[in-house]
Amino acid sequence: MIRIGLIGYGYWGPNLARNFAETEDCQVARIADFRPERLAQALRRHPAAGVTTDPQELLRNPDIDAIAIATPVATHFDLAMAALAAGKHIFVEKPVTTTSDEAARLIEEADRRGLTFMVDHTFLYTPAVRRIRELCDKGALGSLYYYDAVRVNLGLFQHDINVLWDLAVHDLSIMDFLLPESPCAVSATGVRHVADRGEDIAYLTLFFPSSLIAHIHVNWLAPVKVRRTLIGGTDKMVVYDDLEASEKIKVYDKGITLNGDPATQHQMRISYRSGDAWAPHLDTREALSLEAAEFVRSISTGERPLSDGEGGLRIVKILEAASRSMAERGVPVPIEIRRREGSEFSDSIRRLKGAILEHQSGDRRRSPAHAG
């Protein structure tokens, strides 16, 4: 039984509490928040959990195995480091820290102490993103041309972070999970329209060692909500629209074919291919429940979780570089990312898949949601 102490019961904390509470071999032992009215609600929903306004109390509690941190990003590092020092495993909200240096120090400390360090990159656990990953793993898309993501709406302006650290972090974590290589440079632009807040619109172009290019558009001031990613490959192209109710992923058999001898380039001819489209059925398990189970299993087995501290660090490195580029109106800034791709990662994917298959076979026995 893994006993979780949760720090922060604001917007996202309740979702974590609910999912950890419903995870096997796991319970929410104690919840901390400095706002009494939030604690009152926490208590109503989790009567068995104790509550406190003092996060330190959770760290001192010897019955608590792991700390989940869902507080403003500026507080992540100190809380996480203190939790590790107290021998607790940590689960940290995104973005993991405000600097890559902080993230690196947490990784080092967790490794030194043999503790699990997981980052809440929820999208990696969604059926849609896992399905695209499967397509990529099978090589179904061919070589990738581009990755283009749009995430805009009339959104809650954050106090402490700009739209890049608030929204682009999702797309960067998905991209990091799906693409076979890491970006080597970024050109970012953006602008702020409210005096005391960060940028509310931003555009990022990411360059890669190959001719792959990635772009992310995030905006807090859009009249419509868009969550759409295009991924273009030599063999297939994918449209991933997270707002579609039932066909979130479409795979297009579209593209170009080059004819002629590439040596004599000016004779290269292009022909166009336009074939069927295909929307694979997706399982319906909630991402956060899968992620909670992943945390518990990682602690139990000592295996590295799918969304580990390294992933959090990679995303923060890109965000740091993007912030510098944005300050200089798009001047490209290099990014140095070293990926540790070992057996642990593949195991994690495989483990996840097993968990989903179990879940799905249970699913089959149920009937569809009522249609009223």
Task: Please report, as residue ranges, which positions from 71 to 90 form the binding site for its own copies (by CB under 8 A).
Answer: none
How many residues belong to the site for its own copies (CB under 8 A)?
A: 89
Candidate residues 1, 74, 85, 256; the one interacting with its own copies per rule CB under 8 A: 256
Return the H-helix or E-strand segment holding 6: strand 2-7
Distance CA 174, CA 177 (A): 5
Give the nearest distance from C-beta 185 to its own copies in angstroms: 7
Q: Which span (98-106, 237-245, 286-294, 302-310) binds its own copies, by CB under 8 A?
A: 237-245
Q: Find the shortest distance in angstroms from Cβ 123 to its own copies.
A: 9
Amino acid letter, 236: K
Which of 17, 80, 96, 201 is the binder for its own copies (CB under 8 A)? 201
Q: Which is nearer to its own copies, 1 or 194 (CB)?
A: 194
Q: Which residues from 175-194 bind its own copies, rule CB under 8 A? A: 185, 187, 189-194
Does residue 266 belong to the site contacting its own copies (CB under 8 A)? yes
- The single residue listed with the structure tokens 């026995």 is 365
Tokens of 231: 């991924």
- Mapped onto helix, strand or coil, the DSSP state of residue 334 is strand
Contact criterion met (CB below 8 Å) for 311 and 119: yes
Report the residue from 38, 89, 121, 170 that binds its own copies according to the rule CB under 8 A. Answer: 170
* Stretch of residues binding its own copies (CB under 8 A), selected from 65-73, 75-83, 153-161, 171-179: 153-161
173, 219, 229, 307: which one binds its own copies (CB under 8 A): 219
CA dihedral 175, 181, 186, 187 (to 10 degrees): -70
Residue from 36, 114, 342, 372 touching its own copies (CB under 8 A): that is 372
Cβ-in-10-Å burial (0-12, 13-18, 19+) of 192 comes to middle
Please identify, among the stretches 97-105, 175-183, 236-244, 291-299, the one whose residues bind its own copies according to the rule CB under 8 A: 236-244
Interacting residue with its own copies among 4, 68, 90, 237 (CB under 8 A): 237
As a whole number of angstroms, the distance between CA 340 and CA 338 comes to 7
Does 196 help bind its own copies (rule: CB under 8 A)?
yes
Give the binding range for its own copies (CB under 8 A) out of 33-41, 76-84, 220-228, 354-362: 220-228
Which of residues 101, 113, 209, 278 is near its own copies by CB under 8 A? 278
Q: Please select the residue that binds its own copies; options are 272, 341, 342, 343, rule is CB under 8 A.
A: 272
Strand partners, 32: 7, 52
Task: Please state, in angstroms and as integers, the Cα–Cα distance from residue 70 to each residue in 32, 36, 319, following that order.
Answer: 10, 16, 20
Positions in 285-344 near its own copies (CB under 8 A): 325, 328-332
Burial group, residue 372, by CB count within 10 angstroms (0-12, 13-18, 19+): exposed
Distance in angstroms (rounded) separating the CA atoms of residues 350 and 38:
38
> Does residue number 18 form part of the binding site for its own copies (CB under 8 A)?
no
The least CB distance from residue 23 to its own copies, in Å, is: 16
Residue from the set 36, 37, 270, 341 that interacts with its own copies by CB under 8 A: 270
Q: Which residue do the tokens 């170009």 mark?
A: 256
CA pair distance 252, 275, nearest whole angstrom: 7
Q: Could you tell me if 311 and 173 are in contact, meaning their C-beta atoms sit under 8 angstroms apart? A: yes
48 lies in the binding site for its own copies (CB under 8 A):
no
Beta-carbon neighbour count of residue 32 at 10 Å?
26
Closest approach, Cβ 28 to its own copies, in A, equals 14
When the beta carbons of 52 and 158 are compared against its own copies, the nearer one is 158
Backbone φ and ψ for 101, nearest 5 degrees, come out as: -60, -45
Part in contact with its own copies (CB under 8 A); list of ranges 59-67, 97-105, 224-232, 344-352: 224-232
Closer Cβ to its own copies, 89 or 131, answer by number: 131
- Whose structure tokens read 């699990």? 116
